[in-house]
Structure 1
Amino acid sequence: MSIRPKGCFDKNERPFVDRETYIQALREALNNLDQKDYSVLVYYGVGGIGKTSLRKELPKLLEKHKESHKNLNVIWANVDFSIESHRQMDKFLIILKNQLHEKYGVKFHLFDIGHAVYWRKVNPQLPLLKDSYSEGSIVTDLLDTFGGLVSINYRSIKSIVESSPDRFKEWALKRDEAIANIVNMEAAEIEKKLPIFWANDLADYLKFTSSSAVIFIDTYEALWESHRGQGDFNSKDKWIRDLVAELPGVLWVICGREALRWEETDPDWKEYLEQHHIGQLPEKDAVDLLNICGVENEEIQKVILDGSKGVPYYLDLAIDTYNTIKEKRQPVPADFSGTRSEVFERFMKYLDKQEIETLKVLSAPRFWDYHLFEALVRNFNTGYPLTSFSDLGNFSFTSKNHDGKWYMHQLMKESLQEYQGSDLRQIVHRFIFEYYNEKLSNIDVKNITEEHKTALMEGFYHANFALEPSELLKWLITTSELFDNAALWSISFPLYEEMLEIQETKLPSEHIDIAVTLHKIAASYYRKGKYKDALPFYLRSLEIRERCLGHEHPDVANVLSSMVWNYFQMGEYNKALSLGNRSLKILKALGTEPLSIAKASNAVAVIHKEMGKYENALSFYNQALVIREKELGSEHFDVAKTLSNMSSTYRRMGKYEDAISVCQRSLEIKEKILGPDNPSIAITLTNLAEIYRDIGMYEEGATLCQRALEIKERVHRSDHPSIATTLYILGDLYKNIGKHEEALALCQRSFEIKGRAHKCDHPAIANTSNVLAEIYECIGDFKESLIIYQQTLEIREKVLGKEHPDVATTLNDLAGLYRKRGKYEKAQLLYQRSLEIRETVLGSNHPDTIKTLNALSELYKSMSKI
C-alpha cells in the first residue's frame, strides 16, 4: 500500500468553487430573516452534483455574513440524513439541541423533560445517563438528585425547581402546564410532541436573546430510503413540516435529490419554499477546482471534464486518481478518458490491492468503526495496515460522524458493490452478520445496552443479504425474544414489520412463514394494549395456517390460544372460551405438544376465572403448572406466570394463604429472571396488592400497587389498559385507607383510559365503575353513587350473567347504599339476591358470603328498631 502525504489535496481541505447563484440565494435569505412567517431554502439535484459540498460551504458564508453585519445575531446547526439514526425524529432533535447548546448555550429544558419521560417509558430497564443531557439541564439535576432510574413526575420536577436557583423558576412558571401534561402522556404521544417541545425551547431562546436561527439539513432524500412506494409519499417528512410550522422566522436550508412537494399537502407552502435546482458545475468553476488541486495539464483537464460531465463527485474521484498515479509516474490524458463508470474503474485501477480489497469490504456495512474495520481487514486478509485506519478518511467519499462511526458516499458504495462478485458480497454480509450476532450472545435480560440494540438492528440488516427468508425469520424470532422479555418491543416490532415486507416480496402470499410473522406482529400489538389492531393479524395468520396445515394442526391451536387472550382483553369471553376449548381439543387429540397444551390450558383457565367458574379455572391452571414444571423446571418464567394467575383465582375463592404463597413464589422467580422493573412483575405486584386489600392490609397493598404503577408507567404508554387496572385497584386501596380525593382521581383516570380502550359494556369498565361508586358513597354523594352502581349492575348482568360473583358484589354494595339511605326493603331484596349467588357459586364459608350474611343480619336489626 502507498503511504502518501495528502497535503492540500486532502479531501477535507479541497476548495469549494463558485456556485455563486446558490450562494447569493442564501445571502438574500439572510438579509430577509424574520421578513416572512416561514423560509425554506431548498437545493436539489442528482447524487454527486455537489449539494453536500455546497451545504458545508453555506455555514462558512453565514459566519462571514455575520462578521460584516455586526447587528445580526444568528445561530445555526446542521444535520445529515445520510446517517440513518439522524432520520429518527428524537435523534435529529437531540443532535441539533447538542450543537445549539455547545455553541450558543441554548437550554432545552422542556424537550429534555419530554425526552427523558419518553425514554424511561420505552426503556424501563435502563437508567438515564447524564451524558445524554447537557450541563445545566433540569434533567441533569434530576439525575444528580434521584439517580438514573428516577421516576420523572410533576412532583420530582417541582422539587428540583424549588431547590434550584432562579434560572429554573421563571422558566418553570411559564411552562408549568406543559410540564404537568408531559408526565401523564403516553410514550407515543410524547414522541409526536417532541418537536413542539424542542421548538418552544428554541423560540424562548430566540425571543430572549433577539436572535435568528438557521437549520441546515443534508441528504434529505434519505428519509425515503427503503420506503419508496410505501404509503403516502408526503407522510415520511410530515414531522419536519410540523417542526418548521412551529418556528416562524427560522430559516431552513435543505439539500436533497428532489424538489420538496410540500405544497401537495398545503398550497400555502408554495409561498415559503424557494427551490433551486443544482445542475452541472460550470466549466470555468471545474477548471478552477482542477487547477487549485494541482491538475494543471490542459489536455488532462479536458478529458476529466468530458468524463465527469460537471458532476463534482466524479471530479473529486478524478482528482483522487490523479494524486494516486502521480506518486508512481506522471499522469497522461489517457489515464482519465471514458464514461463515469470508467472514471470509477480507473480510480480503482491505480489504488493498491490492499486499498481496493479494504474498500470493497467496507462498502457492505451501513457504517463502520475501528473494531468492525479491524475485523473485516483481518478476516478477509486485505493487507491494509491497521495503524492506517484514519487514512481512509482522506478519500473524498468517506466521512466521520460525531459518534466516531465512518460512512461512505452512496455512489461509491453502489460502485464498489457492483465492482465485486455477488459471491463476495454475500460472504462479507454473512461475516458482518455473524460479527453482530456474536455481540448478541449471552445477553443479560436485565442489562440490555445501546450496543445490543445496534447489534440486533445491524445484524438483521446484514442477515437479509446473507440468509434465506426462512433462516432470517428463525434468527429474528430467537434473537428478539430476549428484547421482548425485557419489554423492549419498540426495537423488535419494526424488524418484524420489515420481515413481513421481505416475505411478501420473496414468498407466495400463503406461505406458512408469513403466518408466523403475522402472529409476531399481532403479539406486539397485544403487548401494547392495541387489541383491535392485533386481531386482523391474528385472523390472517390463522387463515394461512388452516389453509396450509389443516384445521387440526398444533400451530393452528397455538394461534387460537393467543387469540383467546386477545378476545379476553376485548371482553368477549364466550368467543374466547370457544377458541380456547377448540385449541385444547386439537392439542389433546395430538398428544405431542405438552407445552402448547399448557399454554392453552392457562388461557382457558383465565376465561373461567373471569366468568366466575373458579374451580374450573383452578383445574386448568393446575394442568398448565404440572406440565410447565415438568418440561421447563420449577424456576421458569412460564411457571411464574401460571402461579401469578393462580393467585388471583385463590383470592377470589377466599383462599388467601394459598393466594399469598403462590403469588410470592411467582414474584421471586420473575425478579430473579427479569430484575425488579419488568411489566410482568408489575402484574404480580398488582395481584398481591389485591390479596392484601381483601384481607385488610391496605397500606401494604397500596405500597405494592404504587410500585406496580411506576413500572407500568415507565414501560407502557399512559393510556395502556394495564395501567388502568392498577389505577383502579390503587384507588380502591386509597378508598379503604380514607384517602378519598386521591382515590377518586385515580379511578376517574382509570375510567377514562378504559372508556377509550373498550366498548362501553366491557367488564373492565364495570370493575372501575364499581369502585368509583363506592368512593362517591364514602364522600356522601349518594345520588352519583346510585347512578354508577346501577350502570355497573347493568353491564355485569348483561356480559357476565346474573349469577356471576361480580354481580353479587355490585348487588351487595348497592344494598349497602340503600341501607344507608334508610330504604331497608330495597336493601333486603338486594342482599338476599347477593347471598343466593354467593352461596351457590362461592360456598357458605367464603368470606364474601359471610360478609353478606353479616350485612343482612345488621339490616334486620335496623329494621326491627323501626
Structure 2
Amino acid sequence: MGKEEIPADSGSIENDRVLLERYMEKLKDLDAELLAPEDEIALEEAFRLAKRVLKPEELIDRFTAVADPFYRSAAWKILLPIYEEMLDTAERELGPEAPGTAAVLNGLAGIYRYMGKHEKAMELFLRSLGIREKAPGPGQPETGDTLSELGILYSIMDRQEEALSYYTRALEIQEKFLSPENLGAVRTLNRMAFFYKGIEKPDKSEELFSRSLGLLEELAEKEPENRKVMAYTAGTLNNLGVLLSEMGKLEEAEETYGKALKVQEKVYGKEHPQIAQTLNNLALLYFQTTRYEKAMILYTRSLEIMEKFGKTEHTGFATTLNNLAGVYVQKGRQEKALELYTQALEIRERILGPDSPDVAKTLNNLGELYRILGEHKKALPLYTRALRIYESTLGPAHPDVGTTLNNLAGLHESMGEYETAIDLYEKALDIIEKEYGPDHPYFKITRNNLLGLYEKMERSWRGR
C-alpha cells in the first residue's frame, strides 16, 4: 500500500491567494526611483505565497512583470535568489526548452551582467536566445529583447562588432512589434546611441536618439496620454540633451532639456527624482556657460527634491552637492563650497568605499579649494590620496591621473617647490598627450602651466 497523501488545506490556500493579491496590488506601478524597504518586503512575501498557489507559468509571468522596477533599481540581493529559484522551478516543471524557462534565463542573465559576471551572463543569454529562436513563426519580440540584451553585454565586454551585430538583429525584429506596450525598438535605439557615443561617433549617436524620438512621436499621436510613452520620451530627450551638451551644441541641448522637463512634469508632477536628474544636467550646462545664478537655483531645487524623497544617501545626491560646491567656488563663497564638498565626500565614501574614483574626484576638488585658500598643507594629502586612488583603480596612464598630476604640480609650484612641480607637469603632459593628443585643451593647459613655471623661474634668476 502506497503512502497516504495529506490533502491540502483548501481554506489555507484560499487565504494565501487573497494575501497574494493584496501584495501584488502593492507591487503594481511601482517607481524604480522611489522603492522603499516595504516594497522589497512585499516582493519577497508575494513570491513566498505565489510558490504555494500559482502554477509555474503564471508564477513566472507575474514575477518577471512585477520585478521590473526592482531590476531597474539594481536590487540584486532581493532579485537574485528569486530568479535562481524560479529557474529551478521552470526547468523542473516546464522543461529546459520552455518559453517560461527562457524568460527566467533572460532575467537571471541580466542580473549577472549587472553584477559583472559576464561569462555567466553570456551563457544564460545564449541559452535563452536558443529557446526563443526555436519558437514557431517569424522572429518574436522576446527574441529581439534577448538579442538587444546580448548587444549590451558584448559592448560592456568591449567586443564591439558582435555588439553592433546583435543590436542590428534585435532592431529588425522589434520594429515590427512596436507599440506603447512593447517599446523594445526604442530601448535598442537608445542603447545603440550610447554604443556610438562610447566609440566617439557622436553624430551617429545623435541620429539614433532622434530616430528613437521619431518612433515615440508616432506612438504619442495614437495615445497622447500614455504614461509609458511619455516617460520614455522624457528619458530619451534627457539623454539627447547630455549628448548635445558634450558635442558643444549648447543651445540645442538647453532646448532639449526644456522639452524633457515639460514631459517629465506632465508624467510625474513638479517633484520627482527623474526631474532632479534633468535639472542637474541643465544646471551643468548653465555652469559651463557661466550662468552661475541659474545653475545654483537648479542644483538647489534638485537637492530639495532628492531630500524630499529620501535620496540623500545616494550617489546622485553627492554629485549634485559636488557640482553646487563648484558654483559656490566660482561665486567666491569658499566656506559654503567647503561645506558641500565635505558633505559630498562623506556620502561617496559611505556608499562607494574610500577608494572609488568618484571619491577621488571630490578629493581633487577639495584640494583645489584649499589651494585657492592658500592652505597648502591641507591640499597636499587630498591631491596625493586622489592620485593614489586613480592610479590603483584606473591605471597609471589614465587621463584622470594626468589631470591630478597637473593639479598636484600646481600646488607644488604654489609652495615654491619648482623642481617637483616640473617633474609632475612633465609626467602629466606625457599621459595627456598619449590619451588626447597635442591639440586637446587639457594638453594645452598643462603645457602652458609648465611654460609659465619656466618663465617664472627665469625671471627669478634674472632678478638675482
The TM-score normalised by the length of structure 1 is 0.38
Matches within 5 A, 1:23-34: none
1:861 aligns with 2:441: no
The one-letter amino acid of 2:335's match is E
Distance in 2, Cα, partners of 1:616 & 1:561? 26
Instruction: Tell me what 1:693 maps to.
Output: 287
Structure 2 residue aligned with 1:774 = 368
What is aligned with 1:523? 71
Q: CA deviation at 1:712?
A: 0.6
Residues 1:755 and 1:840: Cα distance change in structure 2 (over 3 Å): same
Q: Is the 8 A contact 1:727 1:747 kept in 2?
A: yes
Match of 2:265 in 1: 671
Q: Which amino acid aligns with 2:275?
A: I
Which residues of 2 match residues 81-160 of structure 1 at below 5 A?
Answer: none
RMSD (Å) for aligned C-alpha atoms: 4.7
Deviations 1:286-313 (A, max 9, x none): xxxxxxxxxxxxxxxxxxxxxxxxxxxx
* Counterpart AA for 1:762: S
Q: How does 1:601-750 map to 2 (within 5 A)?
A: 602=190, 613=198, 615=200, 619=204, 622-623=207-208, 625-631=210-216, 633=218, 636-652=230-246, 656-750=250-344
Greater relative CO, 1 or 2 (CA 8 Å, sep 6+): 1
Separation in structure 1 between the aligned mates of residue 203 and residue 97 of structure 2, nearest angstrom: 35
Following the alignment from structure 2 to structure 1, what is the Cα–Cα distance between the partners of residues 331 and 85?
48
Determine what percentage of the aligned residue pairs are the same residue: 28
**In the TM superposition, what is the alpha-carbon distance from 1:588 to its structure 2 partner?**
4.1
Equivalences for 1:210-359 in 2 at 5 Å?
none
| Alignment of 1:762 onto 2:356 | yes
In the TM superposition, 1:579-618 aligns within 5 A as 588-590=168-170, 591-593=172-174, 595-596=183-184, 598-599=186-187, 602=190, 613=198, 615=200
Q: In the aligned structure 1, how far is the partner of 2:154 from the partner of 2:109?
A: 11
Give the deviation of 1:537 after TM superposition: 5.4
Q: Deviations over 1:364-385 (max 9, x none)?
A: xxxxxxxxxxxxxxxxxxxxxx
The residue that corresponds to 1:503 in the other structure is: 50
- The answer on whether the counterparts of 2:193 and 2:209 sit within 8 Å (CA) in structure 1 is no
The offset of 1:714, in angstroms, is 0.7
- Matched AA of 2:265: E
User: 5+ residue gaps in structure 2?
Assistant: 1-9, 118-151, 176-182, 221-228
Query: Aligned AA for 2:318?
Result: A
Match of 1:209 in 2: none
Aligned to 1:577: 156
CA contact (8 A) 2:387 2:401 kept: yes
Letter aligned with residue 593 of structure 1: Q
Distance 1:812 1:668, change over 3 A: farther
1:706 deviates by 0.8
Displacement of 1:525: 5.2
Contact map agreement 1:567 1:575 (CA 8 A) in 2: no
Per the TM alignment, residue 857 of structure 1 is displaced from its structure 2 partner at its CA by: 4.0
Matched to 2:342, the amino acid is Q
Q: Deviations over 1:639-667 (max 9, x none)?
A: 33233234445555655445434333333
Q: Is the 1:499–1:517 Cα contact (8 Å) retained in structure 2?
A: no
- One-letter amino acid of the counterpart of residue 522, structure 1: F
Equivalence for 1:333:
none
Alignment of 1:813 with 2:407, yes or no, is yes
**What is the alpha-carbon distance in structure 2 between the residues aligned to residue 843 and residue 541 of structure 1?**
52
SS in 2 for 1:592: helix
| Alpha-carbon separation, structure 1, partners of 2:113 and 2:81 | 14
- The superposition leaves residues 7-54 of structure 1 with CA deviations (integer Å, 9 ceiling, x where unpaired) of xxxxxxxxxxxxxxxxxxxxxxxxxxxxxxxxxxxxxxxxxxxxxxxx
Change (3 A) 1:631 1:830: same
Partner deviation per Cα, 1:539-576 (whole Å, 9 max, x = no partner): 748966896668996875666567666769xxxx9999
SS of 2:416 mapped into structure 1: coil
Cα deviation, residue 493, structure 1? 4.6
Q: 2: CA distance between counterparts of 1:750 and 1:822?
A: 31
Q: Secondary structure at the match of 1:718?
A: coil
Report how far residue 516 of structure 1 moved. 1.3
Q: Retained in 1: the 8 A contact 2:245–2:285? A: yes
Partner in structure 2 of residue 823 of structure 1: 417
1:354-503 matched pairs, under 5 angstroms:
464=21, 480-481=28-29, 483-484=30-31, 487=34, 493-503=40-50
- Which amino acid counterpart does residue 500 of structure 1 have in structure 2? F
| Letter aligned with residue 173 of structure 2 | T
The structure-2 alpha-carbon separation of the partners of 1:807 and 1:645, relative to structure 1 and needing over 3 Å to count, comes to farther
Q: 2:334 is aligned with what amino acid? A: H
Preserved contact between residue 186 and residue 215 of structure 2 (Cα < 8 Å): no
Q: Distance in 1 between matches of 2:83 and 2:20?
A: 29
Amino acid at match of 1:505: R
Cα 1:615/1:759, change in 2 over 3 Å: same
C-alpha distance in structure 1 between counterparts of 2:84 and 2:211, whole Å: 33
Secondary structure of the corresponding residue to residue 806 of structure 1: helix
In structure 1, C-alpha distance between the alignment counterparts of 2:407 and 2:18, rounded to whole Å:
58
Structure with greater strand percent: 1
Which letter maps to 2:174?
E
Inter-partner Cα distance in structure 2 for 1:776 and 1:804: 24
Contact 1:646 1:662 in 2 (8 A): yes
Question: What CA deviation, in whole Å up to 9, does each residue of 1:558-603 have, x standing for no partner?
Answer: 66567666769xxxx9999239978876554444235446536656
Measured in 1, the distance between the counterparts of 2:398 and 2:54 equals: 49
Q: Counterparts of 1:831 and 1:704 in 2: how far apart (Å)?
A: 36
CA distances 1:775-831 after superposition (whole Å, capped 9, x unpaired): 222222222322222222222233334454433332332232222223334434444
Secondary structure at the counterpart of residue 516 of structure 1: helix
Q: 1:486 to 1:763 in 2, by over 3 A?
A: closer
After superposition, what is the alpha-carbon deviation per residue over 1:105-134, rounded to whole angstroms, capped at 9, x for unaligned? xxxxxxxxxxxxxxxxxxxxxxxxxxxxxx
Note if 1:536 corresponds to 2:53.
no
1:596-620 Cα offsets, whole Å, 9 max, x none, are 46536656876997xxx56157755
Read off the aligned partner of 1:713 and give its amino acid letter. E
Q: Runs of 5+ in structure 1 lacking a partner?
A: 1-416, 430-459, 466-471
2:65, 2:192 → 1: CA distance? 24
| 1:630 positional shift | 1.3
Q: Which has the larger radius of gyration?
A: 1
CA distance in 1, matches of 2:84, 2:158: 15
| CA displacement at 1:739 relative to structure 2 | 1.8
Structure 2: how far apart are the matches of 1:499 and 1:524? 19
> C-alpha separation between the residues in 1 aligned to 2:457 and 2:100?
62
Deviations for 1:748-776, whole angstroms, at most 9, x for unmatched residues?
22222222212332222222222122222
Shift of 1:681: 0.9
Distance 1:661 1:543, change over 3 A: farther
- SS of the equivalent of 1:719 reads coil
Asked whether the 8 Å contact 1:601–1:621 carries over to 2, the reply is no
Alignment partners' CA distance in 2, 1:495 and 1:860: 66
Q: Give the TM-score normalised by the residue count of structure 2.
A: 0.66
